[in-house]
Amino acid sequence: MTTLLCAALAFYAFCGYVALGRTSSPEGGIVDVENTESNLTSDRSVFGADSTRWAQYAPYFPVEPYAAPPASCEVDQVHIIQRHGARYPTSGAAARIQAALARLQTATILSDSSLAFVSNYTYTLGENSLVPLGAQESYDAGQEVYTRYPSLVDADRLPFVRASGSERVEQSATNWTAGFAAANNGVYVPVLSLVISEEGNDTLDDASCPQHISSPLPDAYIDIYAANLTAELNAGAPGANLSNADTHALVTLCMFESVARQERSAWCDLFAGLDAWDGFEYWADLDKYYGTGYGNALGPVQGVGYVNELLARLTSTPVSDSTSTNRTLDASPATFPLNRTVYADFSHDNLMIPVFAAMGLFPTDPLDPAGASIGAGVWNVSRMVPFAGRMVVERLACEEGYEPADGSADAEGRYLRVLVNQAVQPLAFCGASADGVCGLGAFVDSQAFAKSGGNGTWDACFEAAAA
């Protein structure tokens, strides 16, 4: 049984840094962001360069180095939505992996030398919970935020932190708060202020739309991308009789075992040798696009509630929403304050995808279910929602006379930009300049889909399916 261990810093009165299977507490003190990112790169190198192609199962990586905002602007408010850290497979995924592994290990002869390790392989992974790397990812993210935005924090302006009510999400939030506190030597100690139940309206989970169903297209694509892989495996292990679904499950074992053991799995070398990554990564792109992304009629609307909360915080006005928000929580300053400078929300990948879509990020032509659009657009799940992936919205206060590169000044002198895993987003929908900056007013105006409640699609979440 997995044991939950909490290593609290001496100054920290709460159980902050949560890891499963070990206790770890990175040294405190001010963290140099550049060195921190360098260390993370070094840590990721044990997984291999191709780990940045592991889609939603990739260990966190910054897509680009952090670029400071324009010199005449300063960040005066930060909004973060972050996925939980690396985890074990879900119970369903674990069952599929073990069934596929059992079939492969029944083969009487492993005639391919690349399969030599399989005979003595023992499956030891847990289920559902954070792995130690996942705890570290969130801790590091908390350190990074304090180090990047120290001027936004003082005793009266601590981050307001929320989490969706799933154990791994809550633990990721407390790991983040512990890292944040460590970065300032415990002078400013944020806490997890609110856990939102996943049994009701929850803007940090994707379970509020009963009529939402996932598309069969991603599963159908497994039979396309995995066919050659399956043939190679069955040829090298006569009698295994693996299906394409079995092969896909074993591909995911590469990622789950790597993040659990914090070293590259032999399964990764096997599938890298079979050129699996193009197909696997595109399967993930289809999975998210047709799951809760642009390709699902009831996908983007599930992100509307969060976007409307974001608009309320950016403008210090009450939340206006009739979708997935909890109106009781959002109406109270205790559970939805409008006077904070740092907000950090912790969530799941399947909720962050509709948030991106509701906002208009990563616009793309429909993805071809047969694979013709591989590598053709900006919709790349590896770069969108790796483990501990995050979107950061920086509100900017700019000096009088500042004009973005496109010449469109904001009447109030307020601007913003959006970063996803440190990559500045273009924000063409609000007339952003080349540096990704657009006026706050223009951004608010651009969010018509969210402000309208999803253009009527929210009602369809509760309409009985046609007979």
Cite the active site residues.
Answer: 84, 349
Nearest Cα residue to 18 out of 35, 3, 34? 3
Q: Distance between CA 97 and CA 246 in Å, rounded?
A: 7
Residue type, 340: R
Element (H, E) at 160: strand 160-164
Q: Report the alpha-carbon distance of residue 79 to residue 170 in Å, rounded.
A: 18
Residues in the chain: 467
Helix, strand, coil proportions of the chain in percent (round to 5)? 40, 15, 45
d(CA 16, CA 7): 7
What one-letter code names the amino acid at 331? A
Max CA pair span of the chain: 76
d(CA 248, CA 235): 17
Cβ contact 86:79 at 8 Å? no
Nearest to 139 by CA among 279, 273, 328, 8: 8
391 with 347: CB under 8 angstroms?
A: no
Q: Where are the beta strands (DSSP E) in 54-111?
A: 73-83
